[in-house]
Amino acid sequence: FLSLAAEFCCGFFVILILGNFWFLAVLYLLWLYLDWETPCTGGRRSQWVRSWTVWKYFREYFPIHLIKTSELNPNHNYLLGFHPHGVLVAGAFGNFCTDPPFKNLFPGLTPYLHIMPIWFGCPFFREYIMSAGMVSASKESVSHVLNNEGGGHASVIVIGGAEESLNAHPGSLTLNILKRKGFIKMALKHGAHLVPVFSFGENELFKQVANPKGSRLRNVQEKLQKIMGFALPLFHARGVFQYSFGLIPYRQPIHTVVGSPIPVKQNLNPTTEEIDQLHALYLQKLKKLFEEHKSNYGIPAHKSLIFE
């Protein structure tokens, strides 16, 4: 969905160039050059955009719910690890890029959803996603958010990234996380408390073409992901007036559960051992969060998270 919106914005930009409004395209390119670093310096959020009425209907369509399990003191900065990626990442967008869900439950905290830097190179589209509170997932961007001396900032990172979207099949509980430790290092360097977040129902929104590891399709998808930086899952769901085929996500409830914070003491030069220890603790807390809440959202008792 991000790619479709980006393609539309890029197409509009091409029309400006080819039409009689090429001078507007030139002015925008100048603006793009001058504004290039903004996605790495906190973005440019708009309360007006985040409060559009359409987002209320977007959240109610599934519906999307945000569940609070613990207080988050606004005097601290936090790094929220969001799981799983799914295809749409609807829970992350609906809860952290629109108001008022997060604002009401966690007053005093400002969430920043970090996404791949490639999206901020798309004309016009970059302005929209920044207005919604999205910023780059680069190290510089995460550092900028977590460097807020007064606290009150929350970096939201979809830990599994694009690679994990290829596992987004209904019922899948596989998370790409064992080798992903960069977010742990960032939390240590900035003393940001870690918060595991699990979004129940995220993988149920679409059906994806079977692509088990080792299959020809999966190999092609993984190669393309390495080249382009984002994955291309082959998925479908429902149409506007029928439920058999289309690109509109199924109406499946999403419950995004925000866990308890893991206190992190600032360490500007963490060792590999210290990173591994905190990573292991994070996995432990994430698994505990899932186990404590899975029965509430239709997950069978015998099913557990799979880390790879």
- How confident is the model over 195-236, as pLDDT tens digits? 999 999 999 999 999 999 999 999 999 888 888 777 888 999
- State the burial class of residue 154 (Cβ atoms within 10 Å of its Cβ: 0-12, 13-18, 19+): buried
Give the closest residue to 255 by CA, choosing from 60, 61, 65, 56: 65
Q: Is 60 exceeded by the pLDDT of residue 156?
A: yes
Give CA–CA dist 12/25, Å, rounded.
10
Task: Evaluate whether 37 touches 130 at the Cβ level (below 8 Å).
Answer: no
* pLDDT interval class at 243 (50, 70, 90): confident
Mean pLDDT, residues 111-135 taken together? 92
Q: Which residue has the higher pLDDT, 40 or 123?
A: 40
20-55: pLDDT as tens digits: 776 777 888 899 899 999 999 999 999 999 999 999
- The arithmetic mean of pLDDT across residues 169-192, rounded, is 97
Residue 198 forms beta bridges with which residues? 83, 257
Phi and psi at 170, nearest 5°, equal -55, 130
For 105, counting Cβ atoms within 10 Å of its Cβ (0-12 exposed, 13-18 middle, 19+ buried), the class is: middle
Classify domain 39-307 at the CATH topology level: Glycerol-3-phosphate (1)-acyltransferase (3.40.1130)
Residue 16 pLDDT:
63
Angle CA 137–95–138, to nearest 5: 5
Give pLDDT, residue 25: 76
Query: Could you tell me if 84 and 162 are in contact, meaning their C-beta atoms sit under 8 angstroms apart?
Result: no
* Residue 68 pLDDT greater than 60, yes or no: yes
Distances from the Cα of 67 to the Cαs of 83, 90, 111, 216, in angstroms?
Answer: 14, 15, 15, 39
pLDDT band at 240 (very low <50, low <70, confident <90, very high): confident
155-179 average pLDDT score = 95
138-147 pLDDT tens trace: 999 999 999 9
Give pLDDT tens digits for 260-307: 999 999 999 999 999 999 999 999 999 999 999 999 999 999 999 999
| Average pLDDT over all residues of the chain | 92
What CA–CA distance (Å, rounded) separates 155 from 197?
12
Q: Where are the domains of the chain?
A: 1-35, 39-307
Q: What is the structure's pLDDT at 10? A: 64
Report, as an integer, the average pLDDT of 80-98. 96
Region 173-183: mean pLDDT is 97
Q: Which pLDDT score is estimated for 18?
A: 66
